[in-house]
Amino acid sequence: MLEVIRETPKYMAKDSVFESALVIHNRGCVDTYSNITIVENLSAGWTPANPSLLGDVELISASVDLENNLITWVIAPLEVNKYVIATYQVKAPPVYPTTGYLKWNLSYDDFNFEEFDDFEVHTYNYTSESHLEYDLQVEQQSEYPWYEPRSVQPNKTYNFTLIVRNIGDVPAVGWNVSLPIPSSCNVTWTDGSWDEQSRIIEWTLPQIGVRETAELNFTLNCTKLGKMVFKPYGVRNTVNSTYYEDIVNYTCQGESCGKSITHTFQHPNKPYERMGWFAVYFLMNSSGYNVTVSQYRINTTNDFGDTFVVYGGHFFSAVNINHSINYSIPEYDQWSFRNTDRLFGLYSEASATYNPNTTLNLTKIAYIWNYGKLFNETQDLFAKVKVYSYVPLLENATLLIDGNSSETVGGWGEEFNFTVMVRDRFGRNVTVYAWHRKVGETWQLINYSLCEDCLQWTQMNFTYDYQPQNISTWEFKFNASNEDGNSEIYGHTYTVEKDDVQVTNIIPVQDAIVNRSSSSTFSIRIYDTDNESYPDGTTGKIFISIFDVDTFESSPPILSSTNGWINRTMSNSDWCSDETKYYLGVHSWYGATSGDPYIKDNESAKTNFTLMGELTANLLSPDGSMNYTRDDQYNYLIQFNGTVFDDCGNQKTDVNNFPVYFKVQNGNYVQTFTATTSGNYYVYTWNPDESAPLGWYNVTMIATHAGGKYWNGTFFLENAFFLASIPQLDNPQASPNPGGWGESPFNFTVNVTNVDNTTTTIYLWLKNSTVDWYIENYTTCSYCSNFTYFYQKNFTKYNIDTWYFRFNATSESGVYQNTSDLILIVERDDLSINLSSGDGISVNRSDSRPNNTVRLVTQAWDLDLSNYTTDIDLNNFHSYVWNGSSWLEEQENKNETHFYLDFNPNCSYEAGNQSWKMNVNNALYYKNATSNVFSILIYGDLNNTYLSPINETFVVGTLITLKGEIYDDCGAPVIGASVRFELKSGSFTDYCPSSGWVTNTSGNLYVCQWDSSSAVAGVYNVTMFSNKSYFNNGTTIYSYAFNLTKVPELKYADVTPDSGGWSRTFNFT
């Protein structure tokens, strides 16, 4: 059963490197039987690196997958009670604060399990902080050597070192490090302070720089077998606080008042600062006739917007009180009070019979900022108390190649002996295993052997027979096992190399002739002198002399042997690849093994041969395609024309070195002519006399070489020419020309006459910019006399181009006639853009109104095909709308029949009677065209803003100024609108102006003077009306805009009676 102990720090600086380790410990009762794979998975942004392994177990592989942020160790099987420490480094993200997650997964034998919870790592919230990580070292005793880094024996004294590394971004200062000691261990010495009662060693950590370490030492004697997990921890306390007072004057006043105020607090600008306490000082005042209730409340919020009541109170009378209140923030909640800007809410309200009023005046805020942090950083560290066992001793790992221990290189066919000296401290049986491998590959067992009662040093011998595929650099080792375990010794590297061979030339033999025009095979045979065999698959080369008989190729092709044979075939193209190298004449050749993976390089003796070429005659004319007629302008002169090439494709034109002869024959009539040259051609002009019979003639061309290095070349042509009138082509035409492709079909005509009445074929040839000349159509005529050839062709939109056409008439005798090349222009069709709908249509510019989008529609009429088309790319179809000062292009669409623009005007367009049009430009199949200009009515909105008077009181008879502003739906000021104000109080209604409208031709402020003399007293609502051409009318109502009162009047004063005694009652009215 395996367990994993994580040794990873939790806190580190941003962009820092820290160490981490996973201890894999076999705490079970049986060994694992398969390799162990442990995978560490890290969050994105946390970069792993440098995986390694501590312990005496083989690390098979360690790899980092940076794409998936994985580290993988593959470890050899782990015995009971053993452990290994898988170490690696991590680069923290460059930002803070960042939380990362680490999680291991362990698989071995048939088990697979993973870390129960993700392990969190953090870059702290601030820079300029030091953080700690820990490691543990155990000093092994020389008399008890041991390869596990954290093991100690029970009841023996061992020196420990606690290594503390600074993984922050500033020097570590002010830290105390403590280490609790298990009760089964006695502390015999320490350079720290040991407290027996608490069983804790404490050190004052010296200042250490970034990535520097401090070594804290102690000595233990432990009595209990098993694992120990030390938990060192470092403590540094930076907690402090600062008191502030702010004098303020935040006031909320009125019958009912609510006000929110943002207050900016002073702060110490320290790490981890948070508010721990504050107090507010304030005045509460209420007044009015017969105040029945006065209510006050002060709220504030935390950083998340949650509201807290600082003070709340009510009174059943008028008050005038100075008061203060403290608000202590609980420790757990202080991290919600870190912002320096905080919202305060002031609320006051009073109820009274007449004229209630309140005042809530916040005058001072006192507060305390806490800052700093109590750092406590710990980490698990594994150690093991165990009984040591001792494995066999090995020395003098030796390799002998053919009995020579000083050799480190040998052929694969030689004898390889491996020896090692072995003994057991107590004379027990020891099994010794010999291993070898190609460097970097997997170890392979050579053999094993038993050393019985192996008290004395004993030499163990092993032999291995290497094969050709084993050629490489190897290394070897031995391991040995006894009842306590295994030991291992490494030998060294050595090289298994290639075998020696003998090479012999076979063919061509000495002084052989080789024909350059055909393929020739050069053969050697190789013999492996080490294996005494003819090898298969051996690579070699065959070298042929170049330039002269003594200079050879530097890099001929690589060949492979079959039963020792290596063959090189030289084809005509090989010989001719460089005629200077492979000249005609005497050459030499030899063979060699070269670059074979299993055989050494060696070469044969040299052998001479002679290389010869071959000539090829090519009769070019006459070639059977041309007959000679009485109309021939050359007066029956027959031109013999031919070329001569050698077998390398070189043309020969030297009549002295390469003489050429033309022979003509008709039955028994034979003539032979000696050719001359003209340029690159051998030529002869023959003017046959009357003795030359009419009919078909055979021609033979013979090419020779004066130097004898070539075989002759002969060319024979039967019916090479015929002794035999020329067809005539008149009035060739194509119409229409030019014409749009929609005007198809196009007509092609020509008149044909052939005097000798032989059957004649008439061809129509066409070509354009992308297609070369081709036959479009043909027909035949016999006894052709002014025969009219007529053909019709339909062109499509894909055929728009400048075309060329010509006619050809060919007689069955082979005589022919061509017209000149004529031009036919197939052009784009003519087009007209016609209105379908949308002329004079109205649209609202504001999207909040209906009818804010209208469809403008046209159709494209193909004037050549006389139908509508939408076969126009929208990149070539354009829609424009006039915005009042310029044309703006809009993106249109199309369906199967129409092009349309769903026009939704924005603020780029002025309200008014605007225009629109559509056009086609640079379309593939149609000429440019533009529609007529059509109209569209764009309507904006008038948005009124009533300005004054607001919340004012006037006396009846006052001349009151009414003001308002107008903006359109795009937020632009509206000038020149017509405005009227409606004033209502109860059933009373009046207007300003009383008739007509006010306007402003220079701005958007509209003013009207209202005479209130005839108005009634009361609260007035004001409605502002506006209108303007091409705008939707605007209406704005402002309720309770102002109050109109009347001065009291006293009339008809009277007393009854007018006079009387003092005891009478007088009534006054």
Asked if the structure places residue 554 within a domain, the reply is yes
Question: Do 819 and 852 fall into the same domain?
Answer: no
Cβ–Cβ under 8 Å, residues 806 and 757: no
Q: How confident is the model at residue 816 (pLDDT cuts 50, 70, 90)?
A: confident
Last residue of a domain, one of 769, 796, 827: 827
- Does the pLDDT at position 633 exceed 70? no
Q: Residue 567: what pLDDT?
A: 95
- Among candidates 193, 181, 192, which has minimal Cα distance to 221? 181
Question: Do 18 and 94 fall into the same domain?
Answer: yes
Distance of CA 985 to the CA centre of its chain: 71
Q: Residue 1067: what pLDDT?
A: 84
Question: Do 246 and 340 fall into the same domain?
Answer: yes
* 1050: phi then psi, degrees, rounded to nearest 5: -110, 125
Last residue of a domain, one of 827, 845, 860: 827
Q: CA–CA separation, 1040 vs 717, rounded Å?
A: 120
- Among candidates 1021, 1028, 1022, 1015, which has minimal Cα distance to 979? 1028
Q: Residue 178: what pLDDT?
A: 98
- Among candidates 344, 334, 342, which has minimal Cα distance to 309? 344
Cβ–Cβ under 8 Å, residues 859 and 892: no
CATH code where residue 1035 lies: 2.60.40.10
The DSSP H or E segment spanning 789 is strand 787-793
Torsional class of 224: left (φ above 0), alpha (ψ -120 to 50), beta (otherwise): beta
Percent of the chain with pLDDT strictly greater than 70: 98
The H-assigned helical ranges of 543-638 are 572-576
* Cα angle 469, 473, 474; round to 5: 90
Question: Do 361 and 466 fall into the same domain?
Answer: no
- Does the pLDDT at position 315 exceed 70? yes
pLDDT digits 0-9 by tens, 1020-1049: 999 999 999 999 999 999 999 999 998 776
Asked if the structure places residue 134 within a domain, the reply is no
Question: Do 836 and 812 fall into the same domain?
Answer: no
Backbone CA torsion sign across 438, 442, 444, 448 = positive
Average pLDDT rounded to a whole number, residues 702-718? 92
Torsional class of 726: left (φ above 0), alpha (ψ -120 to 50), beta (otherwise): beta
* 194: phi then psi, degrees, rounded to nearest 5: -100, 125
Asked if the structure places residue 221 within a domain, the reply is yes
Q: Which two tokens stand for residue 764?
A: 């129509």
pLDDT digits 0-9 by tens, 258-310: 999 999 999 999 999 999 999 999 999 999 999 999 999 999 999 999 999 99
Question: Do 206 and 246 fall into the same domain?
Answer: no
Q: How confident is the model at residue 1055 (pLDDT cuts 50, 70, 90)?
A: confident
Distance of CA 295 to the CA centre of its chain: 64
CATH code where residue 859 lies: 2.60.40
Question: Do 365 and 430 fall into the same domain?
Answer: no
Last residue of a domain, one of 827, 845, 866: 827
Place of tokens 């042509």: 717
Q: Residue 725: what pLDDT?
A: 54
pLDDT digits 0-9 by tens, 645-683: 999 999 999 999 999 999 999 899 999 999 999 999 999
Average pLDDT rounded to a whole number, residues 784-807? 94
Question: Do 431 and 554 fall into the same domain?
Answer: no
Q: CA–CA separation, 345 vs 300, rounded Å?
A: 6
Q: How confident is the model at residue 323 (pLDDT cuts 50, 70, 90)?
A: very high
pLDDT digits 0-9 by tens, 905-938: 999 999 999 999 999 999 999 999 999 999 999 9
Cβ–Cβ under 8 Å, residues 905 and 884: no
Question: Do 218 and 116 fall into the same domain?
Answer: no
pLDDT digits 0-9 by tens, 720-764: 987 655 788 999 999 999 999 999 999 999 999 876 577 899 999
Strands 710-711 and 607-621: parallel
Sequence-ordered list of residues with C-beta below 8 angstroms from that of 329, at least 6 positions apart, any chain: 275, 276, 277, 278, 337
- Does the pLDDT at position 168 exceed 80? yes
* 695: phi then psi, degrees, rounded to nearest 5: 125, -160
Distances 895 to 874, 876, 899 between C-alpha atoms, Å: 11, 15, 7
Q: Which long-range contacts (CB under 8 A, 24 or more apart) does 443-446 make?
A: 443/477, 446/418, 446/476
Asked if the structure places residue 875 within a domain, the reply is yes
- Does the pLDDT at position 841 exceed 60? yes
Q: Residue 635: what pLDDT?
A: 53
Q: CA–CA separation, 354 vs 683, rounded Å?
A: 136
3-state secondary structure 479-530: EEEECCEEEEEEEEEEEEECECEEEEEEECCCCEEEECCCCEEEEEEEEECC
Q: CA–CA separation, 564 vs 299, rounded Å?
A: 103
Asked if the structure places residue 244 within a domain, the reply is yes
pLDDT digits 0-9 by tens, 245-260: 999 999 999 999 999 9
- Among candidates 433, 21, 25, 376, which has minimal Cα distance to 233? 376
Number of domains the chain contains: 9
- Among candidates 699, 704, 662, 707, which has minimal Cα distance to 683? 662
Residue 1025 lies in domain: 941-1045
Question: Do 755 and 696 fall into the same domain?
Answer: no
The DSSP H or E segment spanning 696 is strand 696-703
Question: Do 4 and 120 fall into the same domain?
Answer: yes
Cβ–Cβ under 8 Å, residues 586 and 510: no
Average pLDDT rounded to a whole number, residues 468-478? 95
Sequence-ordered list of residues with C-beta below 8 angstroms from that of 375, at least 6 positions apart, any chain: 11, 131, 175, 234, 235, 236, 237, 238
CATH code where residue 50 lies: 2.60.40.740
Asked if the structure places residue 1068 within a domain, the reply is no
Q: Residue 634: what pLDDT?
A: 42
Question: Do 272 and 362 fall into the same domain?
Answer: yes
Asked if the structure places residue 1050 within a domain, the reply is no
Q: CA–CA separation, 259 vs 251, rounded Å?
A: 8
Asked if the structure places residue 143 within a domain, the reply is no
Distances 107 to 38, 111, 483, 515 between C-alpha atoms, Å: 6, 6, 28, 71
Query: What does pLDDT average to over the chain?
Result: 93
Cβ–Cβ under 8 Å, residues 900 and 856: yes
